[in-house]
């Protein structure tokens, strides 16, 4: 009985230590959600406005820019997959990778060759283990992305998109996790290149007159300057949304782990009390039995 009681107490101490870690991680993730959500809200207006301006510019000019014109034939498609650098985030990485695999299967079904670009150590390890080596991988900033990191990712995408036909890629899709609330996040796939031109009526808000643009030095020069900023803003917005989703998923996972630790401690404590009670009962029985034996020996 004594050995069994020691085992229960050792397991209780182990679970309590684990609970301290999960509780600390839950608090850290919770503290990051509000700031990450604010960064997502702050970046969204710029991304939406620059997209609107580029579409308006392309609708008023007759040039065919490489970043806005559809290729005659799409043979190689780029897929940027955003995952996390660390685990313990529930189904966050699994959902993003599942959506990415669905996109990869669809590209292969359509006869296109997928070209992978991966953000996050988890995604990089996932694809390398399965024999799919990414064309470029990035890590170290999944929880707190900055503009320089987004620019590095965007530059790799633009270089691949601008490469000669046969060596580069013909379109680009981003797979990221959209942050809707602290409870709800959803993996999404969004095509960002080439940017399809739209009619001016669709590009401008309702009730506003169509803007008139003067291009200096020319429309192609304006697009050359704006489109890289557009790609950076879309990548940066996707990274921020994924970072907020990662923190929210990790907070939920760690809260669930802490709650499970509490339940396990209660169960182990009850088992330890039962073992202790059995040990006490056995000791009392041994004492009573010894006393009866002494009494019987004395009476004889």
Strand ordering across the sheet containing 76-82: 136-138, 113-119, 76-82, 171-179, 185-193
- Residue 182, class by beta-carbon neighbours within 10 Å (0-12 exposed, 13-18 middle, 19+ buried)? middle
Spatial neighbors of 221 by CB under 8 A, at least 6 apart, are 215
Spatial neighbors of 29 by CB under 8 A, at least 6 apart, are 247, 248, 250, 251, 254
Say if residue 194 is preceded by a cis peptide, omega within 30 of 0: yes
Q: Is the pLDDT of residue 206 over 70?
A: no
Spatial neighbors of 269 by CB under 8 A, at least 6 apart, are 12
Class of domain 24-253: alpha beta
Q: What is the pLDDT of residue 201?
A: 41
Helices 219-299 + 2-59 axis angle, to 10:
170
Q: Across residues 194-211, what is the average pLDDT?
A: 55
Q: Is the pLDDT of residue 65 over 70?
A: no
Q: What is the pLDDT of residue 245?
A: 92
Q: Is the pLDDT of residue 3 over 70?
A: yes
What are the start-end ranges of the H helices in the chain?
2-59, 92-109, 121-129, 147-162, 200-203, 219-299
Contact 52, 59 (CB under 8 A): no
Q: What is the pLDDT of residue 187?
A: 93
Sorting pLDDT into bands at 50, 70 and 90, what band is 123? very high
Query: Of the given ranges (118-132, 134-148, 229-243, 281-295), which has the lowest mean pLDDT?
Result: 281-295
Q: What is the pLDDT of residue 266?
A: 92
Among 235, 215, 12, 231, which residue's Cα sits nearest to residue 138? Answer: 235
Query: Of the given ranges (2-6, 26-30, 88-92, 165-169), which has the lowest mean pLDDT?
Result: 165-169
Q: Is the pLDDT of residue 103 over 90?
A: yes
Whole-number Å distance between alpha carbons of 34 and 37: 5
Tokens 């039995």 sit at which residue?
Answer: 289
Whole-number Å distance between alpha carbons of 44 and 40: 6
Q: Across residues 156-177, what is the average pLDDT?
A: 84
Spatial neighbors of 284 by CB under 8 A, at least 6 apart, are none
Q: What is the pLDDT of residue 54?
A: 77
In the DSSP assignment, the letter for residue 194 is S
């Amino acid at each position: 009985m004594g050995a069994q009681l020691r085992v229960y107490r050792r397991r209780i101490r182990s679970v309590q230590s684990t609970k301290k870690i999960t509780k600390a991680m839950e608090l850290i993730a919770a503290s990051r959600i509000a700031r990450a959500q604010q960064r997502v809200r702050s970046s969204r207006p710029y991304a939406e406005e620059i997209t609107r301006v580029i579409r308006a510019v392309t609708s008023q000019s007759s040039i065919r820019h490489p970043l806005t014109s559809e290729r005659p034939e799409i043979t190689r498609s780029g897929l940027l997959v955003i995952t996390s650098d660390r685990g313990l985030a529930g189904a966050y990485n699994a959902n993003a990778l599942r959506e990415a695999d669905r996109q990869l299967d669809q590209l292969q079904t359509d006869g296109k060759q997928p070209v992978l670009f991966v953000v996050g150590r988890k995604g990089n390890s996932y694809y390398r283990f399965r024999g799919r080596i990414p064309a470029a991988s990035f890590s170290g900033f999944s929880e707190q992305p900055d503009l320089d990191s987004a620019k590095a990712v965007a530059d790799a995408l633009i270089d691949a998109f601008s490469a000669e036909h046969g060596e580069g890629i013909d379109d680009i899709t981003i797979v990221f996790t959209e942050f809707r609330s602290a409870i709800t996040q959803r993996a999404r796939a969004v095509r960002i290149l080439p940017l399809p031109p739209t009619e001016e009526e669709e590009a401008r808000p309702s009730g506003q007159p169509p803007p008139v643009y003067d291009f200096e030095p020319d429309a192609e020069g304006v697009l050359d300057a704006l489109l890289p900023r557009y790609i950076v803003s879309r990548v940066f917005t996707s990274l921020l949304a994924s970072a907020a989703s990662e923190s929210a998923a990790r907070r939920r996972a760690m809260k669930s782990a802490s709650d499970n630790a509490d339940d396990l401690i209660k169960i182990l404590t009850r088992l330890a009390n039962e073992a202790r009670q059995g040990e006490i009962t056995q000791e009392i029985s041994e004492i009573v039995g010894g006393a009866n034996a002494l009494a019987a020996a004395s009476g004889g």
